[in-house]
Amino acid sequence: MDTSSVFDSKDSSCKTPYGAVPCGTEVHFTLRPPRSEGFCSCTLVAVHEFANQRQEILLPFLPDEGDRSVFSGTFQAPAEPELVWYSFAFDRPGSPRTLLGRGGYSGDDALDSFQLTVYEPNHTPDWFGRGVTYQIFPDRFFRTSIPDPAGMPGDRIVHQRWDEAMEYLPDESGEVRNRDFFGGSLAGVEKKLDYLKSLGVGTIYFCPIFEADSNHRYNTGDYEKIDPMLGTEEDFRRLCEKAHSLGLRIMLDGVFNHTGSNSRYFNANGTYPDLGAVQSMESPYYPWYAFFHWPERYDAWWGVRTLPAVNETHPTYMEYIIRGGDSIIRRWLRAGADAWRLDVADELPDDFIAQIREVMMEEKPDSFLLGEVWEDGSNKIAYDQRRKYLLGRETHGLMNYPFRVAALEYLRGGRAEDFMEAMETIRENHPRPAFYSAMNLLGTHDTPRVLTMLGTCPKEAPATRTERAHYRMSPEERDKGSRLLQAGAVLLYAFPGSPTVFYGDEAGMEGWEDPFNRGTYPWGREDPVLQRRFALLGRLRRERLSLQTGDLRWLHAQGPVLAFARDGEGETTVAAVNAGPEAVCLDLPWSAPLAVDALTEQRFLASEGAVRLTLPPRDAVLLI
């Protein structure tokens, strides 16, 4: 049964304020069941998850509204951050209680409760969510010369040609070692800062840049050193200084759940002079790891032996990474970084994350902390524990993978209604500062290239790694993918949160999963149509304050057509997307006499408070 007319948590006539609330806020509830139901009372049932408390609050009976009974009252949000799961219990004489939750009426307690996120309203830097983020996989972006791997950790192979195919098959031990390098460097990124600026980029997010013997560098060898193939600490400082002079900020990838087995801390290969955990139980690093049988059996991230897991709560590890006067968090902020992204945040203890934020605020009060979480981080359960990422003491924002999932489902033939519903759930559950500080994305180093996902739909990925390695989209697939990506980019750049581009998506790079999504940037062979679209959207995002901080207002969501407005700073911007294969006519409310598509400069006359559009197939407009 549709009970939205009884209570809709997203409707201001039923609940205010909207969505998540700061601690101590008064939340007003109003319910309007049909008078024919005969309910004589209504009780708010609120379960405080972290405090393990249950409240029942009787909502007073107000005068009827037509054929509706009205119950209305106030709930005081707790003084500490909390997840409150609430429902309503209706009583009628001589009958069992009727419960109302997100799924409608129920006769028992096994109902889906509404979520109220209660957060501590601490400072969230607003620069991240306002601007465009560009993710760089450092080895594959740009090189200034072919490096010599002699003396560097690990058995590195360097490709002589920038456009060579990467290695992807397992070695004789059955492992993909990721030891082939192309030689992208920090100096290479510095040479391309003007290009990034032309795309409207405000933040560069680097995949790991610390010393490690793999091309992805998620198996850290030394947190204190820049990988020698990327450059030196001096190169990093110079890059940050130049980026800052252009108005760009730098986000580093913090991989603190595990190290590499070939690291100064574990030192399985004896590469480092330090006494590693494998060499001796007397090593200062030995307590960081959990050995089942020293030295050959130990806890490793998802069982990958080259990634031994660390005990993040050990005092000496906390001191080294976070609390010490020259901790890893502090020293790289001092060197010029403006933000940290926490790899696999699900596997980091809440207190570990909270202490990182605390130290960041001490060291650089306007720095930003982002977490990698693939689901709705407001209610995520990891390892049987409800997480507190967004309650005001841990991350400022999260990677918005739910946006990617919903956007790709929509662009690949799904319903606009489903995209809207998925994003409304995120908007309702997340504190407003976190929602506007989300890292919105269509692809990353951990997902297939978005162009491939859009162009090949509905075809499945080839079955074998060799087939996927050599797969290239047909001209028809590339055309379809390009058109949908141009439309999807409008959705990405117009939505609240930081629009994030994985390097080369704007150039038309294709590829399936890792490592095929990590090719070298095709300098001189970019897709000019896609590149122009991303550059234009970047400029508009930088210029239009409504796109940076404006409120979100849905205008249309039906079938292949989605339209929403961003209102703020005295202006309105409207995005309208048609993901379908046929042209669609659409009327949108418009108060001015004229609307202009900022993408094409086409002008539309408004009549009687509306503007009529014909949206071409797999296309979008951005009205100003």
Give the tens place of pLDDT for each residue, 280-302: 999 999 999 999 999 999 999 99
| 482 membership: H or E segment, kind and range | helix 475-494
What is the mean pLDDT of the segment spanning 146-171?
94
The Cα–Cα gap between 444 and 398 comes to 14
Which residues is 72 bridged to in the sheet?
30
Mean pLDDT for the stretch of residues 503-530: 98
Res. 430: pLDDT tops 80: yes
Whether this prediction's pTM lies above 0.95 is answered by yes
Q: Can you say whether the dihedral through the CA atoms of 543, 194, 249, 451 is positive or negative?
A: positive
Three-state DSSP state, 224: strand
* Burial environment of residue 111 by CB neighbours within 10 A (0 to 12, 13 to 18, 19 or more): middle
Task: Check residue 173 and give its pLDDT.
Answer: 76
Number of DSSP helices (H) and strands (E) in the chain, helices first: 15, 35
Residues 576-603 have a mean pLDDT of 97
pLDDT above 90 for 516: yes
Rounded Cα gap, residues 159 and 155, in angstroms: 13
- pLDDT tens across 18-61, in order? 999 999 999 999 999 999 999 999 999 999 999 999 999 999 99
Reported confidence tier of residue 110, pLDDT bands at 50, 70, 90: low
Rounded Cα gap, residues 49 and 34, in angstroms: 31
Whole-angstrom distance, CA of residue 562 vs CA of residue 279: 60
Alpha helices in 340-431 (DSSP H): 350-363, 401-411, 416-429
- The residues pairing with 119 across neighbouring beta strands, listed in sequence order, are 22
210-258 pLDDT, tens digit each? 999 999 999 999 999 999 999 999 999 999 999 999 999 999 999 999 9
List the beta bridge partners of residue 16: 28
pLDDT at site 111: 83
pLDDT above 70: residue 109: no
Q: In the block, which residue shows the tokens 């969510």?
A: 129
CB 109 within 8 A of CB 87: no
Band of the pLDDT at 502, cuts 50, 70, 90?
Answer: very high
- The burial of 462, by beta-carbon neighbours within 10 Å (0-12 exposed, 13-18 middle, 19 or more buried), is given as middle
* Confidence category of residue 106, pLDDT binned at 50, 70, 90: confident
**Average pLDDT in the chain:** 97
What are the pLDDT digits (tens) for 303-359? 999 999 999 999 999 999 999 999 999 999 999 999 999 999 999 999 999 999 999
Mean pLDDT of 558-586: 97
Q: Which of 102, 104, 196 is nearest to 425 (CA)?
A: 102
pLDDT recorded at residue 175: 77
Asked if pLDDT for residue 576 goes beyond 70, the answer is yes
- Provide the pLDDT for residue 552: 98
Averaged pLDDT for residues 120-131: 97
* pLDDT of res. 174: 75
Q: What is the pLDDT of residues 77-99, one digit of tens each?
A: 999 999 999 999 999 998 899 99
What's the pLDDT band for 172 if we cut at 50, 70, 90?
Answer: confident
Q: Which two tokens stand for residue 144?
A: 């200034």
- 71 pLDDT band, cuts 50/70/90, is very high
| Average pLDDT over every residue of 513-528 | 97
Q: What is the pLDDT of residue 208?
A: 98
Predicted confidence band of residue 1 (pLDDT cuts 50, 70, 90): low
User: Which letter, b or e, does each residue of 326-335 get, where b requires 16 or more Cβ atoms within 10 Å of its Cβ?
Assistant: ebbbbbbbeb
Which of 575, 541, 577 lies closest to 129 in space, CA to CA?
541
